[in-house]
Amino acid sequence: MGNFEVMNHPLIQHKLTIIRNKDCGTREFREVVNEIATLLAFEVSRDMPLEDIDVQTPEGVAHAKHLTGKKVAVVPILRAGIGMVDGILNLIPAAKVGHIGMYRDEKTFEPHEYFVKLPNDIDKRQIFVVDPMLATGGSAIMAVDALVKRGVPESNIKFVCLVAAPEGVKALQKVHPNIDIYSAALDDHLENGYIVPGLGDAGDRLFGTK
Ligand X SMILES: O=P(O)(O)OC[C@H]1O[C@H](OP(=O)(O)OP(=O)(O)O)[C@H](O)[C@@H]1O
For residue 100, state whether it binds ligand X (rule: CB under 6 A).
no
Would you call 30 a catalytic residue per the annotation?
Answer: no
- Could you tell me which of 137, 203, 160 has the C-alpha nearest to residue 145? 137
Q: Which residues contact 127 (CB under 8 A, 6 or more apart)?
A: 72, 73, 74, 75, 98, 147, 152, 156, 157, 158
Q: Which does 98 bind (CB under 5 to 8 A by kind): Mg ion, ligand X, ligand URA, none?
A: none
Name which position in 38, 126, 136, 156 contacts ligand X (CB under 6 A): 136
Counting residues that bind ligand URA (by CB under 6 A) gives 9
CB of 171 to ligand X, least distance (A): 8
Using CA atoms, how far residue 206 sits from 33, 79, 140, 210, in Å, is 8, 9, 19, 10
The catalytic residue among 20, 86, 104, 145 is 104
Per the DSSP assignment, residues forming a β-bridge with 163 are 133, 185
CB of 203 to ligand URA, least distance (A): 6
Would you call 46 a catalytic residue per the annotation?
Answer: no
Contact pattern from residue 166 through residue 205 relative to ligand URA, giving x for each residue in contact according to CB under 6 A and a dash for the rest: ----------------------------xx--x--xxx--
Would you call 104 a catalytic residue per the annotation?
Answer: yes
Is 79 one of the annotated binding-site residues? Answer: yes
Contact pattern from residue 25 through residue 64 relative to ligand X, giving x for each residue in contact according to CB under 6 A and a dash for the rest: ----------------------------------------
Which residues are documented as binding site for 5-phospho-alpha-D-ribose 1-diphosphate?
79, 104, 131-139, 201
Q: Which residues are catalytic?
A: 104, 108, 201, 204
Which residues are documented as binding site?
79, 104, 131-139, 195, 200-202
